[in-house]
Structure 1
């Protein structure tokens, strides 16, 4: 492959993983950890100590973790000189358990070490708890300009069955607090296909979310992920396929009627409000992963290759090794079959699919690698191909897992 094949490189994002939660939800398969409990009360300690003091057992070690992220960043930055960071996504866990000054240090150092674009989108995930709400002004001042709030449902009973520790009122208060803090871009995470959920209840959740006037909704199905308590002991009352389709269809129609565009399988946005960071993933852009368990993808225009890298998952091991090879769990160079599958796994989640120009710009590979498979999927009604763009059909989206199997 020639040097020009991947030059210039695709847009660059940064994913920053902060791995602690007050408690882990039974459906969650993310790399998240509840803090240790204090021997005396059995409660998690979530307050924050002055800088320079060690945390006792039971407290989130946010200071040590922040220093580890900065060491990780310092080791990663030299390979990214000359590029600008277009998007940052701070996920978890519950990043809003970290104080604003820690977020500010990480963002300001990122700007100094690599460089943030003037219009960089910087998203932080937050839960609706009152402690987190009190920090929203600080996050905005630190440079965060998009907030993603994990509401999941506005039904008290559903929240309880999901293991959530907030109530519907706290969810509404969190959005109001975000607006008061100056956030003009707010996403709400909302689940459907919950245990015993009726179509009316799923629509009630959508109506409650719409009443808060978010710019973006992540509306996704509850799934039983391997390794989670829900997978081991599935909750009673999960919908069968006909009820699932009815729930999804009713919510889809209501969101579309409200002016939201479904630009990805589980992502809905008002015009111009799509999440740029996630779009970069789905369009096979580059991203640096920082933090325990974070994954990254970086293109090398000179070598003409694409590298995947993953950090070690356990926070203690990450903090001990950050900035050295000990914090890297895996590094591999993507080969042609991997590139085809990974590109399709992302691009076919998008309503607009991908263009041949985008494929070549982000991979440097010829379309011949996938053309025959796409033609077969078009013949089966799973894809549409107009000669420039390849898009999933409605049936292709419904059968997305089976569609992707064709690219293995």
Structure 2
């Protein structure tokens, strides 16, 4: 039977100062004055009220403010939302609360107020410390502002910090990528995300690729060198692009990758909620069978603001078909380097492990997975060829 996994809360803040040419997230430049912060918090709380019946009685283990640029929002808006959310949901003791921050929007005094509001983790979108490359990426900050923003957060008593760094950037050499990591190490963050620039569909870079992108071999050299430098600096790789000091893995993202549940509120936010069959199954209740529901909200901020808290704000609802669940589970779980128990697959999908016996055996035969009794872990080759390993779990025509 399907069991209830840990629950997280994702809050999408859709506005940014400038849309980056590589960005495919639901972000919108706001012109003509500041965004309607107060109205948006009202909409978020109304949205949360509407979705509460899906998660009655459950505890929230992490909150993540993503965007867009959540750090555009003043601390009082974040505080009002968190107070409202805590009045509606049970927050676990020590609940991780992350705010994504653009170094170009960091101001003296804000971090102290964010911390007082309950934010205890900051994720900085730095991307690179090379000022010329930052310009090519369309970023609004420079390397000096990046350094200053991190130090402001540390001075405010926030020590659980992530730095986002991208590699294989336009004009970037191996030496430049190494320099980025050394600059990051000097700031002593708890966590570093190190991931390759990709040209996503429907972005400016996809339509007009920048000049000087490293080729595949050069990108692989940068990745391998980065992994070695991160390990030497005390950052253990626990996910394809995530590295952390001991005990500082991102709890929110770990819940995603372990196929946990998350409520998604805000413009364009996506959620995934497990709905196990109820005790009234014999009586023909609507919850007579296990279901895993995906729900997403209207993307455009104006439409979302007008409809939040009503069924019209839901962009779509989808029950994941049982045949798709092995792929959905592995798409997340195999991003992690950790071994996982097969009973996690059964608990998180409601399926028997027999549903994945054949693809597991195939992945083991190819050297991508290691099976030790009832535990499965990716090999180094499995991490490198993760997409190939995951594709083995796609539903077949006769599934």
Per the TM superposition, whether the score is higher than 0.5 is: yes
| SS, match of residue 307 in structure 1 | strand
- State yes or no: 1:339 paired with 2:335: no
Distance 1:130 1:404, change over 3 A: closer
- State yes or no: 1:300 paired with 2:275: yes
Return the alpha-carbon distance in structure 2 between the equivalents of residues 287 and 72 of structure 1.
14
Is the contact between residue 98 and residue 121 of structure 2 (CA under 8 Å) also seen in structure 1?
yes
1:6 offset after TM fit, Å?
Answer: 2.6
Distance 1:23 1:121, change over 3 A: same
- State yes or no: 1:75 paired with 2:55: no
Is the contact between residue 72 and residue 105 of structure 2 (CA under 8 Å) also seen in structure 1?
no
Is the contact between residue 307 and residue 331 of structure 1 (CA under 8 Å) also seen in structure 2?
yes
Task: Please report the TM-score for the alignment, with normalisation by the length of structure 2.
Answer: 0.94
Distance 1:322 1:369, change over 3 A: same
Residue 227 of structure 2 corresponds to 252
Distance 1:166 1:134, change over 3 A: farther
Question: After alignment, is 131-140 or 302-311 more displaced?
Answer: 131-140
Paired residue for 2:359, among 348, 351, 373? 373
Return the alpha-carbon distance in structure 2 between the equivalents of residues 29 and 224 of structure 1.
9
Residue 42 of structure 1 corresponds to none
Return the alpha-carbon distance in structure 1 between the equivalents of residues 266 and 313 of structure 2.
9
| SS, match of residue 147 in structure 1 | strand
- State yes or no: 1:282 paired with 2:271: no
Is the contact between residue 12 and residue 288 of structure 1 (CA under 8 Å) also seen in structure 2?
yes
1:78 offset after TM fit, Å?
Answer: 3.1
Return the alpha-carbon distance in structure 2 between the equivalents of residues 206 and 124 of structure 1.
22
- State yes or no: 1:311 paired with 2:297: yes
Residue 151 of structure 1 corresponds to 126
Return the alpha-carbon distance in structure 2 between the equivalents of residues 64 and 317 of structure 1.
13
- State yes or no: 1:329 paired with 2:325: no
Is the contact between residue 84 and residue 116 of structure 1 (CA under 8 Å) also seen in structure 2?
yes
1:402 offset after TM fit, Å?
Answer: 2.2
Residue 240 of structure 1 corresponds to 215
Is the contact between residue 91 and residue 124 of structure 1 (CA under 8 Å) also seen in structure 2?
yes
Return the alpha-carbon distance in structure 1 between the equivalents of residues 138 and 83 of structure 2.
35
Is the contact between residue 97 and residue 132 of structure 1 (CA under 8 Å) also seen in structure 2?
no
Is the contact between residue 123 and residue 148 of structure 1 (CA under 8 Å) also seen in structure 2?
yes
Structure 1 residues not aligned, in runs of 5+: 39-44, 46-58
Distance 1:130 1:300, change over 3 A: closer
Matches within 5 A, 1:195-274: 195-274=170-249
1:234 offset after TM fit, Å?
Answer: 0.6
Residue 56 of structure 1 corresponds to none
| SS, match of residue 313 in structure 1 | coil
Return the alpha-carbon distance in structure 2 between the equivalents of residues 344 and 363 of structure 1.
11
1:132 offset after TM fit, Å?
Answer: 4.3
Residue 28 of structure 1 corresponds to 23
Residue 394 of structure 1 corresponds to 380
Return the alpha-carbon distance in structure 1 between the equivalents of residues 210 and 313 of structure 2.
37
1:386 offset after TM fit, Å?
Answer: 1.3
Return the alpha-carbon distance in structure 1 between the equivalents of residues 155 and 334 of structure 2.
37
| SS, match of residue 6 in structure 1 | coil
Paired residue for 1:183, among 158, 163, 177? 158
Residue 170 of structure 1 corresponds to 145
Is the contact between residue 123 and residue 145 of structure 1 (CA under 8 Å) also seen in structure 2?
yes
1:264 offset after TM fit, Å?
Answer: 0.2
Is the contact between residue 71 and residue 105 of structure 2 (CA under 8 Å) also seen in structure 1?
no
Return the alpha-carbon distance in structure 1 between the equivalents of residues 342 and 159 of structure 2.
35
Distance 1:398 1:84, change over 3 A: same
1:284 offset after TM fit, Å?
Answer: 0.5
1:295 offset after TM fit, Å?
Answer: 0.5
1:359 offset after TM fit, Å?
Answer: 1.1
Residue 106 of structure 1 corresponds to 81
Task: Please report the TM-score for the alignment, with normalisation by the length of structure 1.
Answer: 0.92
Distance 1:130 1:17, change over 3 A: closer
Distance 1:335 1:191, change over 3 A: same
Residue 357 of structure 1 corresponds to 343
Distance 1:136 1:245, change over 3 A: same
Residue 66 of structure 2 corresponds to 91
